[in-house]
Amino acid sequence: MAQIKGFFFDQDGVIIDTEKDGHRVAFNQTFKKFGFDFEWSVDDYHELLQIGGGKERMKHYLHTKGFGREIKQEEEEALIKALHLAKTDTFIQLIESKQLPLRPGVHRMMREINSKGYVLGVCTTSDQRSAQAVATIILSDINFNFVLAGDIVSKKKPDPEIYNLALKHSGLRADECIVFEDSHNGVVAAKAAGMHVVATTNFYTEKEDLSKADIIVTSLGDRDGEKGVLKADLKDLAFDGVLTADQLVTFFESR
């Protein structure tokens, strides 16, 4: 088995549990600001998360349920773009106010990765500004080799394009990389690119089919905080509630 050299993180739901209390809230505040009389419930947003990308989710909702008033076809693209820009501003304000804490074990894992000299990257369909805000504000002490986000790719997850692009940026082979994902689409994308995958579940993804992942846990875990629970039946992984970079390297290099 190849030597592990790189670790790639999805952002939303993996680094920060942003979906329910972050992006969904920002979308709803933006809809209200633009005068629309609807909002996305927790269940609505769960359904919409099966579609990669915020602009794509709004287009899908507009075409299937509508925005409560007529939107002319020639106005659609400009409206979606304006909504998304405003929503991103609102989301970044949530990040800057540090109302969205990191998921358990993420900061510890990234520090371990940095200390060992591995390549560290972010691969997300989230807006570029949002991704950079997380990387530079909340994770300001972490050294990222790259942050790939938003419309940098033409096809969103479950297409593997963003992970194939990460391989080009890093100069690594797929079997030298470990990806942290939380959703079915993300796991499928990383596996389609040929990478090892650790899935960390959250409120929205705990019931999704993550069976293609090599390891499934509720979180990466912290020694002095929340511990993770192993969800996949991997008897050869000794798991005490905290996954470490060294443990993952040993696990994947020996398979």
The rounded distance, in Å, linking the Cα atoms of 178 and 120 is 10
Residue of 10, 127, 182, 222 marked active site? 10
- As a whole number of angstroms, the distance between CA 194 and CA 213 comes to 11
Q: Is 12 a catalytic residue?
A: yes
> How far is residue 211's CA from residue 216's CA, in Å, rounded to a whole number?
8
Give the active site residue among 12, 182, 214, 222: 12
Give the Cα separation of 171 and 37 in Å (integer).
48
Question: Taking phi first (over 0 means left), then psi (-120 to 50 degrees means alpha), and beta for anything else, what does residue 137 get?
Answer: alpha
Asked whether 95 and 101 are in contact (CB, 8 A), the reply is no
Is 89 known to be catalytic? no
Task: Give the Cα separation of 247 and 67 in Å (integer).
Answer: 48
Annotated active-site positions, please?
A: 10, 12
